[in-house]
Amino acid sequence: MQATQTPTLAYAATSPAAALAPYALERRAPGQLDVAMDILYCGVCHSDLHTARNEWGGTIYPVVPGHEIVGRVTAVGSLVTKFKVGDTVGVGCMVDSCQHCKPCTDGLEQYCDKGFTGTYNGPEQGSGANTYGGYSSSIVVRESFVLRVSHGAAELAAVAPLLCAGITTYSPLMQWKVGPGHKVGIVGLGGLGHMGVKIAAAMGAHVVLFTTSADKRADALRMGASEVVISKNADEMAAHAGSFDFILNTVAAPHDLDAFLVLLKLDGTMTLVGAPASPHPSPGVFNLIMKRRRLAGSLIGGIKETQEMLDFCAAHGIVSDIEVIRMAEINTAYERMLKSDVKYRFVIDMATLKAGA
């Protein structure tokens, strides 16, 4: 018998200027290697906003954002071995990749030579069809892009942001071997930044949080930062000149990178994960060459590493600090995110979409 598609409630933007609004779509019938799930919670990433408003270009409308998904399995294909109906699972920023190229076989699907399939804004491998993300009641995802969630039932809403904010900070911290004895800076205390503080602290680093928001100081210290620097204060910044092993910059807007590069010591690295719509002013070359400093970038993380990150966070009792919202509050949440007024991640309770609340 031919399995049928599942009608799914969602929220979509239909143009860069349009508010997100209810939208009906169909999920594919699960194939042999697919996992179907009801979405319980979906985090709200700044990338959702960049994409909904076409700030990076290339948005295909209607767009259903959302790539920090925690769900419960409702059906599995006949060849699925890792999951069964009723399991609590996660889906992050990717739902597929070519699976054959060197990055894919090395577990670095985010750098797939053919381009990975985003959880939203596609394109699907082969068909090229658009994909629709987690601001929806259900989703169907290839088994190899589904993650196991081992946190307790009461923490599931706060686990959702780990699927993007968690892995995007964990991956570069691992890549640059952050650990005890390292002085590590995290720039920006938003969704990504607050996960960066918690994870770097759990890795044993001495963590310094750089913020433009003086009122976030106490929260940063509670999350594991040893020091907080108000980045607008030149004297506070100068006190840290030439002292950092590694800085992770999560800021979502263009800003002066030199102010942070001069804080790195010999061979220190600053990795950019924030992805502003327009470029940063070019950094001064002398700040790089004088101490052989490095400026790097990093994109989310592979599936194997995402599972590692979820297990690391479960073992260390790490979840996101969240504000749970109703689906209908998403447009207000976007406006607050633009004002850096997020403590520290909005998470949509998807039951409110089904209930039409």
Task: Pick one of 273, 309, 322, 353: the residue that binds ligand NAP (CB under 6 A).
Answer: 273
Quick one: CA torsion of 182, 68, 250, 224, rounded to 10 degrees?
-40
249 touches ligand NAP (CB under 6 A): no
Positions 82 through 141 that interact with ligand NAP (CB under 6 A): none
Interacting positions 155-184 with Zn ion (CB under 5 A): 164
The partner in contact with residue 50, picked from ligand NAP, Zn ion, none with C-beta cut-offs of 5 to 8 angstroms by kind, is: ligand NAP
From the list ligand NAP, Zn ion, none, partner contacted by residue 350 (C-beta under 5 to 8 A by kind) = none
240 binds, among Zn ion, ligand NAP, none (CB under 5 to 8 A by kind): none
Residue among 73, 89, 186, 189 that touches ligand NAP (CB under 6 A): 189
C-beta of 331: minimal distance to Zn ion in Å? 18
252 binds, among Zn ion, ligand NAP, none (CB under 5 to 8 A by kind): ligand NAP
Of 47, 117, 121, 131, which lies in the binding site for Zn ion, with binding defined by CB under 5 A? 47
Q: Does residue 347 bind ligand NAP (CB under 6 A)?
A: no
What residue number has its CB nearest to ligand NAP?
190
When the beta carbons of 178 and 342 are compared against ligand NAP, the nearer one is 342
Which range, of 45-53, 56-64, 328-336, 348-356, touches Zn ion by CB under 5 A?
45-53
CB of 61 to ligand NAP, least distance (A): 19
- Is 95 a residue that touches Zn ion (CB under 5 A)? no
Q: Can residue 270 be called a binding residue for ligand NAP (CB under 6 A)?
A: no
Positions that interact with ligand NAP (CB under 6 A): 45-47, 50, 164, 168, 188-193, 211-213, 216, 250-253, 255, 273-276, 298-300, 337, 340, 342
